[in-house]
Amino acid sequence: MRAVAIDAADIIITDANFGAATPNLTLTQERIDRDLRPMLERNILPVLTGFIGATPTHKPTTLGRGGSDYSASILAVGTKATEVWVWSDVDGIMSADPHEVLDARVIGELSYNEMAELAHFGARILHARMVAPLRQHQIRFA
């Protein structure tokens, strides 16, 4: 499979709130349909950076801490993916920060509500805004 780098700022369209930008899901979906879907249909894998977007006038924006996770959920919804994988320096969602708690363990399975609660209370592996799109579209988080 061929892969092509795509500037996420050309796909994820946001408001101008740099550092905590909110994606315009309608404009973003239009870009996904126009630019990414044809690539996927030709078995070309688009590779996008997370965390960044741009205003409709092409001013760069960022989605805030953990924004790469949020980008992944937006792109998953837009491409009708069935799951999202987030890669990290640990083997999954942990019961505590393994860098601080020696006996932290991997949590085998979480509901969307449990994910949202963890994100709300600061779990660094999850962006608080990423859970709602996954829940709404029943996209698995791995």
DSSP secondary structure of 66-88: THHHHHHHHHHHHHT-SEE----
How far is it, in rounded angstroms, from Cα 130 to Cα 34? Answer: 23
pLDDT at res. 66: 81
In this predicted model, what pLDDT tens digit does every residue of 113-136 receive, in sequence order?
888 888 777 776 677 788 889 999
As a whole number, mean pLDDT of residues 105-113 equals 87
54 membership: H or E segment, kind and range: strand 52-54
pLDDT at res. 97: 80
As a whole number, mean pLDDT of residues 18-25 equals 96
Identify the structural domains of the chain with CATH numbers, from first to last: 2-141 (3.40.1160.10)
pLDDT at res. 127: 74
What's the whole-model pTM score?
Answer: 0.85
pLDDT at 51 over 80: yes
Q: How confident is the model at residue 37 (pLDDT cuts 50, 70, 90)?
A: very high
pLDDT at 42 over 80: yes
In this predicted model, what pLDDT tens digit does every residue of 68-102 receive, in sequence order?
989 999 999 999 999 998 887 777 788 888 888 89
How far is it, in rounded angstroms, from Cα 49 to Cα 32? Answer: 14
